[in-house]
Amino acid sequence: MALQECWSLFEKQYEGIPLRVRLNEGLEDYVCHPRYMYQVCVTVPLNEADENGFPFPEECKLLDELEMLLKDKLEPQQMSVFAAVLTLDGVRMIILYTYQPDYCQQLISDINKDWIYHQLSSSSQKDREWKTIEALIGGL
pTM of the model: 0.92
The answer to whether residue 3 scores a pLDDT higher than 80 is: no
9 in a structural domain: no
36 in a structural domain: yes
51 in a structural domain: yes
Q: How confident is the model at residue 36, as a pLDDT?
A: 93
Q: How confident is the model at residue 68, as a pLDDT?
A: 95
What value does the mean pLDDT take over residues 7-28? 91
Tell me the per-residue pLDDT of 101-140, one tens digit each, with 9 for 90 and over: 999 999 999 999 999 999 999 999 999 999 988 888 776 5
85 in a structural domain: yes
- The better pLDDT of the pair 59, 26 is held by 59
Tell me the per-residue pLDDT of 55-94, one tens digit each, with 9 for 90 and over: 999 999 999 999 999 999 999 888 999 999 999 999 999 9
Compute the distance between CA of residue 25 and CA of residue 122 in angstroms, rounded to an integer: 23
Number of domains in the chain: 1
Provide the domain limits for residue 131.
17-138
Domain of 93, CATH number, reads 3.30.70
The answer to whether residue 96 scores a pLDDT higher than 90 is: yes
38 in a structural domain: yes
